Amino acid sequence: MALALTRRQQEIYDYLKEHLWEFPHPPTLDELCTALGLSSKGSLHKQIQALIEAGLVAPMNNRRRGIRLAEEDAELPDENALPMMGYIAAGRPIEAIDHQETVQVPDFLRTSKSCYVLQVRGGSMIEEGIMDGDHIVIEQRDSARNGEIVVALVDGSEATLKRIEQKQGAVILHPANSTMEAMTYSPDQVQIQGILVGQMRRYH
């Protein structure tokens, strides 16, 4: 039978249940301390130890480092799984849809930062080798360097995949298809949601 939790222990457990998947790997005590805004790693260690004794957190050892929930295998995606956030237009903008699914992604196709997966619809990036139906890995970011391929949210509602060019007073989203034209927006119309870091394709 699980031990009774203090209010602080319950808060930590609830945070782990809701946010553990956001970490690129099972978080260390230092990382969890930073995420929770705590100043004492020693105090957090005691709370985690109490959650281990309550059967809610898996014991930490040399083979499985980091903090994991005891029911992680049943309820959380594994270390190679990323959230599948829906579809992204490589032509005119369409809205990305949250499907609440996960996709297995090898380590070399992702970064150590928070990443997610989108499936491409459309053909405006085909000259970059990005085809309709491909799955792309996006590192979650709110800024990008000129020339990077980004997920851009236009007018707060429609997401598109394009190569970005940022000028004084203008953001230009370039397709990679010679039959299509670039789209120009004012900076306040475009919000960067991430950059392309990996790509997967299935051949039938």
Residues recognised as catalytic? 124, 162
Look at the alpha carbons of 139, 23, 105, 64 in this order and tell me if their dihedral is positive or negative. positive
Question: H helices within the chain, ranges in order?
Answer: 7-19, 29-36, 41-53, 72-75
Nearest C-alpha neighbor of 56 from the set 104, 16, 108, 115: 16
| Tokens (6 digits) for 112 | 């150590």
- What is the rounded CA–CA span in Å between residue 141 and residue 157? 17
Residue (of 62, 90, 75) closest to 16 by Cα position: 75
Return the DSSP state at 73. Answer: H
